[in-house]
Amino acid sequence: MQVRIFDTMTRAKIPVPNKEGRVGIYVCGLTVYDRPHLGHARVFVVFDVFRRVLAKNGYSVKYVQNFTDVDDRIIAKARELGVSAEAVADKYIALYFEDMHKLNVMDADVYPRATQHVREIEDLISKIEQRGYAYKTSSGVYFRVQKFQGYGKLSHQSVENLKKGARIEPDPEKEDPLDFSLWKFYKGDPAEPHWESPWGDGRPGWHIECSAMSMKYLDEIDVHGGGEDLIFPHHENEIAQSESATGRAFALSWMHVGLLNIGGEKMSKSLKNFITIGDAVARWGPNSVRFFLLLAPYRSPLTYTEELVEAAANNWLQIEASYAEALCPTPASHGPSSDELSEREMEFERDLLSHLSDDLNTPMALSDLNAWSSFVSKLASARDGLAVEDAKVVRKGYEFAAELLGFTLPKADERHRDLVEQRFILRQKKQFAEADKIRQALWNENVILIDHKDHTVWFKSSVPNAVRRIAKLGEPSKPKT
């Protein structure tokens, strides 16, 4: 299918730009001075699904995501801890990977760091200067915003309106309040990294690093993305400096993810109103968190509430229980014919891919997944389990959805098989007290049991405290679906 996205620049839904099926994506990553939170996770989960959808449609994707590892906040953290800025960056980059891997976010093809591309940044500043768009003050080198005619075209604001809402870099020598730093001169702080340059010792400004790194690793930037809060000033400034240096369009399309809000405000470190990814995963499980982050259209804001994440966890638990029916089929041959089920499964795949290919409609995709889960659960309940051949078809549908949406499906851990079978035999012999001891031992390991007439379905849930959740949803040994 052709994949379409909403382009922030044109304010229209367009086909994803590509060259013979090859798509280059650059997403602005973290400034690494603290652990990432759920607001960051939303951006990276959305682009993770985007990559998966492109790949499933046959596109070849090169995905680049940077780390800003030199910044005032990193320097402040280094000074506070009495370590180098590099040590601070290394620590939080490692924690980024730890948290993203918990959420099953695929690694980028390239993770450039600003400090490793200072020469490329200097070259780009030199080109900007040669074309008359840069000037020097006693504090650094700045970009002349008024000289660039298209400034404001991404945020769709006039220069005057942007001035009213801008966070202005203080410098009385600046020609215009909106002018932004390309190079900051070294102030003598031992914690501050600095490099020699044609203009003097110093370090790159924030915006210039992304321009330099994205153009180094992508011949053509087909999709440039990030959080909605980066539209201005970061992405607006990237466009201005890059197009001033090259004389051509910087990126062919722009894709932005809406904010994650909490208590009526943006979730952010500065407001100290954030939930870390590690805490969220420990409480609700990785699939539940990922499910929650995909609930709203990616361009819309999403509001964090504990009730909404709890509901996502309960929803995912029921999906797990439905999938588990296909993990532990009955040897009986009853049930609908595989041909009928195959048609339903193919329809599910088509709907799912179609919705995700149309501007990444994750709410509809989750609705498709819930409908499939409900269908499978009803089928298993009506037939007292799934036949072996039908279970294969059901697993195919779930595996297709998991690959697209990035969920990890449960497994029937072989370590528990003997216990499950022992319990089943004990129940047949009406030795229920002994059977209940085994059930409790399995529950203690978060293993869920669903009893049928001639077999037991079992799986290890990714949702913490799954047994207690099931008790609230319905009969403890058989989740309500």
In this predicted model, what pLDDT tens digit does every residue of 327-349 receive, in sequence order? Answer: 999 876 555 556 789 999 999 99
**CATH number, residue 451:** 1.10.730
Of 5, 7, 4, 2, nearest in space to 251 by CA: 7
pLDDT tens track for 405-445: 999 999 878 889 999 999 999 999 999 999 999 999 999 99
pLDDT band (50, 70, 90) for residue 268: confident
**How much is the pLDDT for 367?**
98
In a domain, 266, yes or no: no
**What are the distances in angstroms from CA 50 to CA 14, 356, 403?**
15, 8, 12
pLDDT tens track for 278-307: 999 999 999 999 999 999 999 999 999 999
Q: Which domain holds residue 352?
A: 286-473
**What are the distances in angstroms from CA 256 to CA 16, 97, 272, 278, 369?**
14, 22, 23, 24, 25
**How much is the pLDDT for 476?**
39
Averaged over 36-61, what is the pLDDT?
98
Do 181 and 39 reside in the same domain of the chain? yes
**CATH number, residue 211:** 3.40.50.620
In a domain, 135, yes or no: yes
Counting Cβ atoms within 10 Å, is residue 292 exposed (0-12), middle (13-18) or buried (19+)?
Answer: buried
Whether the predicted pLDDT of 480 surpasses 60: no
Do 298 and 251 reside in the same domain of the chain? no
Averaged over 17-22, what is the pLDDT?
97
Of 235, 32, 208, 26, nearest in space to 117 by CA: 208
Do 296 and 250 reside in the same domain of the chain? no
Tell how far CA 27 is from the center of its chain.
Answer: 11
Averaged over 185-211, what is the pLDDT?
96
pLDDT band (50, 70, 90) for residue 479: very low
Do 238 and 318 reside in the same domain of the chain? no
pLDDT tens track for 242-257: 999 999 999 999 999 9
Do 297 and 152 reside in the same domain of the chain? no
DSSP secondary structure letter of residue 234? I
Do 324 and 209 reside in the same domain of the chain? no
Whether the predicted pLDDT of 477 surpasses 60: no
What proportion of the chain, given as a percentage, has pLDDT over 90? 85
Two structure tokens written together for 461: 């849930």
Do 244 and 343 reside in the same domain of the chain? no
Whether the predicted pLDDT of 166 surpasses 90: no
Do 308 and 381 reside in the same domain of the chain? yes
Instruction: Give pTM, 2 decimals.
Output: 0.94
* Mean pLDDT rounded to a whole number for the chain: 93
In a domain, 174, yes or no: yes
Please list the residues that pair with 449 across neighbouring strands.
458
In a domain, 38, yes or no: yes
**How much is the pLDDT for 39?**
96
In a domain, 87, yes or no: yes
Whether the predicted pLDDT of 15 surpasses 60: yes
Do 75 and 161 reside in the same domain of the chain? yes
Whether the predicted pLDDT of 170 surpasses 80: no
Indicate the number of domains in the chain. Answer: 2
Do 119 and 229 reside in the same domain of the chain? yes
**How much is the pLDDT for 334?**
57
In a domain, 478, yes or no: no
pLDDT tens track for 125-158: 999 999 999 999 999 999 999 999 999 999 999 8
**How much is the pLDDT for 293?**
98
**How much is the pLDDT for 424?**
93
What proportion of the chain, given as a percentage, has pLDDT over 70? 95
What Rg do the C-alpha atoms of the chain give, in angstroms? 26
Counting Cβ atoms within 10 Å, is residue 337 exposed (0-12), middle (13-18) or buried (19+)?
Answer: exposed
The last residue of one of the domains, among 239, 257, 275, is 257
Helix, strand, or coil (residue 290): helix
Do 321 and 220 reside in the same domain of the chain? no
The last residue of one of the domains, among 241, 257, 273, is 257
CA-to-CA distance for 408 and 244, rounded, in angstroms?
45
In a domain, 479, yes or no: no
> CA angle, 103 as apex, 97 and 108 as ends, to 5°?
50
In a domain, 276, yes or no: no
**How much is the pLDDT for 161?**
84
Do 305 and 225 reside in the same domain of the chain? no
**How much is the pLDDT for 337?**
59
